[in-house]
Amino acid sequence: MDLPEVNDVLLQFNKLLLLYNSALKEINTKLEILNDEFKFVHQYNPIEHIKSRIKSGESIISKLQRQGRDITLENIQTYIDDIAGIRVTCSFTTDIYRIVDMISSQNDIEVLKTKDYFRDPKPSGYRSYHMIVTVPIFLSDRVVPTKVEIQIRTVAMDFWASLEHKIYYKYEGNVPEHIRTELRECSDMASFLDAKMLALNEEVKEYKGHY
């Protein structure tokens, strides 16, 4: 590939990143509006934190290589669902499904895939709710539906997932079995904490309802 071709590929890739950055802004704004509205109507905000990121070029290439696919812009758009990612952290498990419903009901959002790792945790103990959605990005000459991965989890499970990621990074994926076992046990503890805190919150709401 000569220099003009390389420059053209880089230009197209940067345009692609512009789309994904714009999609993150769109989803982030929608989530903030929904959270503000919910707080106004119900005096309660289901979302604690929102964090977004764009997958690095190295990670994108590595993922395509693991899939055995050619490194092309078309393959990037078709086969990589998590270039743009948003992580939503909430207090209670019920908030997760409330947020899922609010996102899914948006007329301009199309839900492509969902994975509920709360009801069906991974063997590692990982619990989260994943959605792959598309949101329309209005450019000057066209509208481009662009994919975003949304991960929704509780504060407790977000802490667990952060620790798991650090451990797997340190061991380069080869985590000793006894540590894997400890992680699964910690996941069960976090899930138990989520259930206890939800029950406590429901009891408090019922008590307040007597007034």
Domain encompassing residue 78:
3-156
Q: Is residue 84 part of a domain?
A: yes
- Tally of structural domains, the chain: 1
Catalytic member of 5, 26, 149, 185: 149
Full-model pTM: 0.89
pLDDT (tens digit per residue) in 117-158: 999 999 999 999 999 999 999 999 999 999 999 999 999 999
Q: Is residue 73 part of a domain?
A: yes
Q: Is residue 205 part of a domain?
A: no
pLDDT (tens digit per residue) in 59-68: 988 899 999 9
Q: Is residue 72 part of a domain?
A: yes
Tokens of 208: 């307040």
pLDDT (tens digit per residue) in 21-40: 999 999 999 999 999 998 89
Alpha carbon distance 172, 176 (integer Å): 11
**What CATH number is associated with residue 82?**
3.30.460.10
Q: Is residue 186 part of a domain?
A: no
Q: Is residue 102 part of a domain?
A: yes
26 is catalytic: no
Q: How far apart are the first and last CA of the chain?
A: 74
Alpha carbon distance 120, 128 (integer Å): 9
Q: Is residue 56 part of a domain?
A: yes
Please state, in angstroms and as integers, the Cα–Cα distance from residue 83 to each residue in 61, 86, 132, 146, 163, following that order.
11, 10, 11, 10, 22
